[in-house]
Amino acid sequence: MFDFEKLEVYSKSKSFNKSVYVFLKNYRLDRTTNDLLRRASFSVMLNIAEGSGRFTKKDKTNFYIIARGSLYECVAIFDYLKDTRQIDIDVFKKYYSFLEEISKMLYAMIKGLS
């Protein structure tokens, strides 16, 4: 088993990524928004995995910060989709709370490495 597979934040980011995959199949978004959301959600998961494999605190922290940045991109995309009425408020709240939980976990990891 790899170290990242033991991390709850990785498991939650993987669940989020799978949820986005289903979301994108059910909502007809323009190609750019679809691609950006797919890539950003995948980036969260992948940067957590890559960071866990680094040896120094500085390297680990850098990848966790990048993961958190990608997570913020996802929040902004869902906010845009809400504001343009492509999703309703309940869908927005679902993803917002999912992302907020992962963000707090990443923040704690980053602070713990400082």
Query: Where along the chain do its domains lie?
Result: 3-113
Whether the CB-CB separation of 53 and 4 falls below 8 Å is answered with yes
The pLDDT of residue 42: 98
Average pLDDT over residues 78-87: 98
Predicted local confidence at residue 88, as pLDDT: 97
State the pLDDT at residue 43.
98
- Report the pLDDT value the prediction gives residue 113, as an integer from 0 to 100: 96
Q: How far is CA 65 from the centre of its chain?
A: 11
The yes or no reply on domain 3-113 and CATH 1.20.1440.60 is yes
pLDDT of residue 82: 98
Task: Name the pTM for this structure.
Answer: 0.95
